[in-house]
Amino acid sequence: AGSFDRVLLDAPCTGLGALRRRPEVRWRRTAEDVAPLADLQRRLLDSALASVRPGGVVAYVTCSPHTAETVDVVAAAARRDDVEVLPVAPLFPEVPDLARGDAAQLWPHRHGTDAMFMALLRRTR
């Protein structure tokens, strides 16, 4: 706990952002899958934040564009008084239309990628 400078959390998710490459996902997922995964993602993000030292950064990444698995999970962590969300878009100036608030959202139709989401969270103390 509190010993890492950086942690990458590639969170388990519905995988809906990879439909372009894996269309069978649409038949394996239901609306009921989202809430338990979002709960797990929040718990994993809390654990990742506990793993970084003050000043350390957690990159939270999913292959889902679903708000419950992306911005809602980050918003829950951002409500903590020891977390600051860092803007991602300035780190990728060559990627147009990347910003989703302070986070980044890639889209198949805009970026030619899976629908990947990334947020950076700094533990302030």
**Domains in the chain, CATH or no CATH each:** 4-123 (3.40.50.150)
Q: Which residues fall within 8 angstroms of residue 59, CB to CB, at 6 or more apart?
A: 6, 7, 8, 9, 118, 119, 120
The response to whether 10 counts as a known ligand-binding position is yes
Task: Identify the pLDDT of residue 66.
Answer: 85
Active site residues: 63
| pTM to 2 decimal places | 0.89
Contact criterion met (CB below 8 Å) for 93 and 27: no
For the segment 44-96, what is each residue's pLDDT rounded down to a tens digit? 999 999 999 999 999 999 988 889 999 999 999 999 999 999 999 999 999 99
